[in-house]
Structure 1
Amino acid sequence: MTQQTAIKPSIIIDGVRKRFTLNHAYSLKDTVVSWIRRRKLTSEFEALKGIDLAISEGESVAVLGLNGSGKSTLLKLISGVMEPDEGEVLTRGRVAGLIEVGAGFHPELSGRENVFLNAAILGMKKHEIEARYDEIVAFSEIEQFIDQEVKHYSSGMFMRLAFSVAIHVELDVLLVDEILSVGDAPFREKCRLKFEELIAQRKTLLIVSHDLDMVRELCSRGVVLNRGEVVYDGPVEGAVRLVES
């Protein structure tokens, strides 16, 4: 009898809550008027309300929902950019995240210098970066601008370089948050093919996107958030139908 290897979880999210304090006074005048009228200057917003999820090694999962539903907050917690107020987030292996355009880039440094900086942040050793540097730059298609300070880059150029660095890391989990929306059509297609390559390699993908056609093509599972709560977790087609309705 053949013994099957148990599938290990790549991500475990256990009872996670995240709150933010909202400031309602945007000037000295607002502060004084609110103080005189005894209005609260701040309020608490609960972005995630006790999220429980387990994502297996090799799964491709779409996280869907309206703006403000908690999708980006969830990815930031998984990436380690933020910590939960309650609960626990556990990840297995090396996590690479494309959470915000230009995140991890220093505006005063050149593209070349930022490749080394960003790759180091993602856990690559100097010799690993040097070995993959030409491949990273070639994929980004911005060779002629690589020695220019990135503060002069467009959002599309930021995205190309950030995506190229992230996918050339020896990653186990890739987090993508709507970042590909700033790219042109040929580059988005190039990225889609890279996603398919990572899926074939049994890497774990967690994708936040409003591109439902891409989600259908790349993901087998969909999680829908609404006001910080999971309202659907199942086959991706059901998640897409719920979002479209």
Structure 2
Amino acid sequence: MEDENDIEVDNLGVFFRLYHQPHTTLKQEFINFFKRTKAYEEFWALRGVSFKVKKGEMFGVIGKNGSGKSTLLKILAGILIPDEGSVKKRRRISALLELGAGFNEELTGRENIFLSGSILGFKKKDIDEMYDDIVGFSELGKFIDLPIRNYSSGMCMRLGFSLATSVDPDIFIIDEILGVGDEGFQKKCLERINNFKRKGKTIILVSHISEQIQGLCDKAILLDQGRKVCEGIPKDVISEYREILRLRE
């Protein structure tokens, strides 16, 4: 049944314009117009991608770098608008797409927590209640009052993950971040993700690391050159992924 799905993606496509020349003059624009030639070519980062994610499912997206994984997640998170197809999302999404994405580097960690929380629609009272959990989980301690520009990538990941998971999302999107940080913090992240899963939250995990997809996910899809190659149980999808890697060695 459709109401059992948290996310429904139908024939999704998005393209970017690759210009032949970095700077086109007005004269060249007129020439191109009358010759009916384009000063750019269309690069389809995704095309014809369809799948459904059930409520409470941990859904994996795997593929090589440049296969369209991050583009897909940016569409799911509402950052990009597709040029083709549609996406239906039935519950609130929290996304951790890039290290430090959305943080203001001139503000402190503390200030960024309140800024990000307000952008997500939370009142100051709500953020006050979440604050200790966010800082405690991140283990940043006194560094929470340093500007973000002084943070290492690991510190940004700690704060980003802590913030994204403390807002109690219905759907949680994670993009290629579980390999960052020390082993102890990675274990904490995995435990929190598994706790979400036990609570019936829906999780979408993107990775090019097959062990993560197979060890954590209920179902997965394989993307290659912007297309969905296959969908199914992680073991079968990973076998197809490894075959693609073997053929391109």
Given the alignment, which residue of 13, 17, 21 partners 1:17? 13
Note if contact 1:98-1:163 (Cα within 8 Å) is conserved in structure 2. yes
Note if contact 1:64-1:209 (Cα within 8 Å) is conserved in structure 2. yes
Structure 1 residues 145 and 116, CA gap change in structure 2 (3 angstroms): same
Residue 242 of structure 1 corresponds to: 240
Shift of 1:158: 0.7
Structure 1 residues 26 and 154, CA gap change in structure 2 (3 angstroms): farther
Partner letter of residue 153 of structure 2?
S
Structure 2 residue ranges without an equivalent (≥5): 244-249
Aligned pairs for 1:18-167 (under 5 A) are 18-26=14-22, 41-167=39-165
Alignment partners' CA distance in 2, 1:204 and 1:44: 34
State which drifts further: 75-84 or 47-56.
Answer: 47-56
Note if contact 2:62-2:210 (Cα within 8 Å) is conserved in structure 1. no
Shift of 1:92: 1.4
Alignment partners' CA distance in 1, 2:154 and 2:144: 14
If the length of structure 2 is used for normalisation, what is the TM-score?
0.88
Given the alignment, which residue of 179, 182, 189 partners 1:181? 179
Note if contact 1:222-1:238 (Cα within 8 Å) is conserved in structure 2. no
Alignment partners' CA distance in 1, 2:99 and 2:15: 24
Runs of 4+ in 1 over 4 A off after TM superposition: 38-41
Q: Secondary structure at the match of 1:230?
A: strand
Note if contact 1:119-1:166 (Cα within 8 Å) is conserved in structure 2. no
Shift of 1:57: 0.6
Shift of 1:105: 0.6
Offset from partner CA, 1:133-189 (integer Å, 9 cap, x none): 011001001112101110111111111000000001120000111022222221111
Alignment partners' CA distance in 1, 2:18 and 2:47: 17
Shift of 1:129: 1.1
Note if contact 2:73-2:173 (Cα within 8 Å) is conserved in structure 1. yes
Note if contact 1:9-1:55 (Cα within 8 Å) is conserved in structure 2. yes
Structure 1 residue ranges without an equivalent (≥5): none
Q: Secondary structure at the match of 2:145?
A: coil
Note if contact 2:62-2:209 (Cα within 8 Å) is conserved in structure 1. no
Shift of 1:213: 1.9
Shift of 1:109: 0.7
Shift of 1:76: 0.3
Alignment partners' CA distance in 2, 1:239 and 1:124: 39
Aligned pairs for 1:209-228 (under 5 A) are 209-228=207-226
Shift of 1:244: 2.0
Alignment partners' CA distance in 2, 1:67 and 1:46: 15
Q: Secondary structure at the match of 1:115?
A: helix
Alignment partners' CA distance in 2, 1:136 and 1:63: 27
Partner letter of residue 180 of structure 1?
L
